[in-house]
Structure 1
């Protein structure tokens, strides 16, 4: 057996290396084709076309959305400092806030029989990637003695990057995150209250907490005696 491995180990390793190299080349070509190859008609003219798309499932609940208008600026310097150009743009943007309920389990639910309160220890609210509506720009002002095509493209790219970063910082500010948590609290409480009402627990109060509140121990403490899954199971047995 050892002799066999020694005899064929080299060719097998070489074959695996060739396969891995081929797979890497294929993936690289697919990415290059997706990002840089221009789709054209038979006459050679470029077309508007979907190059790649993917749909995936998600257990995240959208709880709120931030909308606004952002102003972004950029500067480009070329020609050994002689060609200076600036650009100012204004455009609408939006940022969605989500709570990932996919990992929520019975361990995250607490039940206080005395006050008939269901405590939901939810994961924290997260902000999505800002959506810049560049098609609805209300202002595009470019200045400079001579703005080359390359400079114009770079200015457009930089204003988008700056706007993206500024919108993301605003969306993640403590004030905005606190507002998003309040919307998330109301949305999760509504989702949890509906099935409880259908099972005869219409008078139950739903209290939703998020990690920053639990970490600092600022939320109200409850005398929890029975897990919520056992409470619901007992309710079903009584019927």
Structure 2
């Protein structure tokens, strides 16, 4: 039996290697086709079409949105420093803020029966990826003695990247995060209101805390006595 296994071990290993290499080549070809192969009409003209799309579920709660107009600049130098060009663009942008409510567990919910207050220790608000709408540019100014096609493409990429970075930094600014947390408190309060009302606590108050605020309290504990899951478990159903 051992000899038979040894006899087939080599061919099986080779077959597995072929499958792995073939799978890697297939994935590589699909990515190349998605990113670089141009779709054309019968007459050879390029077309506008969706090349790839994916939809996925999410458990994040959108709590607020920041919007505005961003100005972005970029420079390009070529030809041993002789060809210098620059570009300035203004365009609108938005950034959404989310709370991942899937991270909430029973241990994050505490109930104060004396004040009928639910305390929610929520995960922090997080800004999403900035959406810079380059199709709605209000100003495009390109300067330079001679701007080559390659330089123009490089300027466009750098302007876009700089806009993304600046919008992300602005979204993460302390004052913006504080505003987003205020909206997050209201959104989570509305989310918790329905199960509280169904359990007969429609007049309950919801207090939402976020990690930076809990850290700032230096370990001070809220005045709570009973986890919320125990309260709801012992509450008779409403008729």
Residues 156 and 79 from structure 1, CA distance in 2 versus in 1: closer, same or farther, beyond 3 angstroms? Answer: same
Aligned to 2:91: 91
SS of structure 2 residue aligned to 1:146 = coil
Aligned to 2:154: 154
Contact 1:213-1:219 at 8 Å conserved across structures: no
SS of structure 2 residue aligned to 1:196 = helix
Tell me the distance in 1 between the aligned counterparts of 2:63 and 2:219.
Answer: 21
Contact 1:193-1:202 at 8 Å conserved across structures: yes
4+ residue segments displaced more than 3 Å: 218-221
Q: CA deviation at 1:218?
A: 5.8
TM-score when scaled to structure 1? Answer: 0.96
Q: CA deviation at 1:195?
A: 2.4
Q: How many residue pairs get matched?
A: 239
- Residues 165-206 of structure 1: CA deviation (Å, up to 9, x unaligned): 011011011111111011001110111112212332112110
Contact 1:74-1:87 at 8 Å conserved across structures: yes
Contact 1:111-1:119 at 8 Å conserved across structures: yes
Q: CA deviation at 1:2?
A: 2.6
RMSD: 1.5
SS of structure 1 residue aligned to 2:226 = coil
Tell me the distance in 2 between the aligned counterparts of 1:132 and 1:217.
Answer: 37
Q: Which runs of 5 or more structure 1 residues have no equivalent in the other structure?
A: none
Tell me the distance in 1 between the aligned counterparts of 2:230 and 2:106.
Answer: 10
Contact 1:130-1:167 at 8 Å conserved across structures: yes
- Residues 59-84 of structure 1: CA deviation (Å, up to 9, x unaligned): 11100001111111111111111111
Q: Which runs of 5 or more structure 2 residues have no equivalent in the other structure?
A: none
